[in-house]
Chain A
Amino acid sequence: MLKNRIIPCLDVKNGRVVKGINFVDLKDAGDPVEQAKIYSDGGADEICFLDITASNENRDTIYDVVEKTSKKCFVPLTVGGGVRSVEDINKLLNCGADKVSINTAAVENSKVVIDSSKKFGSQCIVVAIDAKKNGDKWEVFTHGGRNNSGIDALEYAEQMEKNGAGELLVTSMDRDGTQVGYDIDLMSKISSKVNIPVIASGGVGNLDHLVDGIKLGKASAVLAASIFHYGKHSIKEAKDYLDSKGIPVRI
């Protein structure tokens, strides 16, 4: 039986790990390579790096982090943030990333997803959708949540599947950093709309939120940062808890 995945996400800035609360107020939480190794040794099903300031400064530090991590961690490594082109994707894959997540570039230029999934295979192309509720729908935001594209998130999700995305990483902008739980409505609507796996992100504050993301949000995988990051819970605790709730996990 296929297991639901638990993915710790490390926000990286200038080669160091941080976690944003609603994308501001950053705290330093250590070396990404060591953090990733602790997570993979602890049973993380994948590791995710999000290079949060990649669009603006010090771009090359992430390549070094990815290269070092991929020599120490032998679970899948997803890297996103500031990925603009097929060449950027190529470079990250060559450094040892297994998947690359594309956010702003996927909105601005549909060819990036189409071309990269053809060139490298859908299995390594993750489209990251930052969605914010507006009335009875959700809109896709770009540039780390700063710009509203006005695009309907559900329609966009479907289009990205057609364009060749292998997975969708769906973040609720409303919930990110709040620790009140995933936007279950958003997750389940997108998950029902597409036939590719959905990774739920944004808002995890306790282990029940992970359970809800899978059971109610119908996500294939759950991503979280701060609950693992500041030592509130270990990956193993999270897995044991999911297991106790009848969710299939790799233990």
Chain B
Amino acid sequence: MKALKTLGYVLALPVLLVLLWWASTLGAVNFFVPTPAALVGKFGEVWFGPRFFTDVLPSIARLLVGVVAAIAIGVVGGVLIGSVKWLRALLEPTLEFFRAIPPPVLVPVLILLMGITDSMKVAVIISGCVWPVLLNTIEGVRAVDGVLSDSAHTYGIDGWARVRYLVLPSASPQIMAGVRQSLSLGLILMVISEMFASSSGLGFTIVQFQRSFAIPEMWSGIVVLGLLGVAMSFIFQWAERHILRWYHGQKEVENAA
């Protein structure tokens, strides 16, 4: 019963929007706006064929590799910069410079340096996604509680054990906030990296459809991107619930008090 109710809440608005769309395209002849039925038809036809393997999967693979690499670099770098004072003093001004550069402008540069390759696209994704994770991790690491840190220190929990048992868990709420931002950035950068110069991928295909006036196909590509975003968001929420169970529990207790 409870599951049904939840499902109802999840689906209510999408169903309403599709109904609205359907009603407003009744008898309409605007070439650029397809009817829901036409779109659904095209959707299956376009994406559940060879395109799934030549465009959708490569895009998802690049996105995954880019985001995972960005999280790894961000967390490792963040723990180092957050823990070592002189490193922070040395790097922070420079980091501000690189962070300010919008990743899309790196696409032409990276094409020249790395060619039109998968690595180039992954590099674009990393160059954007690394920042939220890195900066949040630095903040999280710096905010480790003094008493907790003293406790760990008096029990001889130092070095790697300190990172594993104290620093990483303590910074995990901030790290997860960074990861959440990175995921949505990653999707954007995945599409952008494929729009400039590419021969495959979702971004490439959508631009191809637009240029060849395959309008319902183009829309269906956008729907794929939206669904991909929803799937990522669900996976993230599931992971967060597990990793930050203690954090949400603690917050609940504090708020109830």
A and B from one complex? no
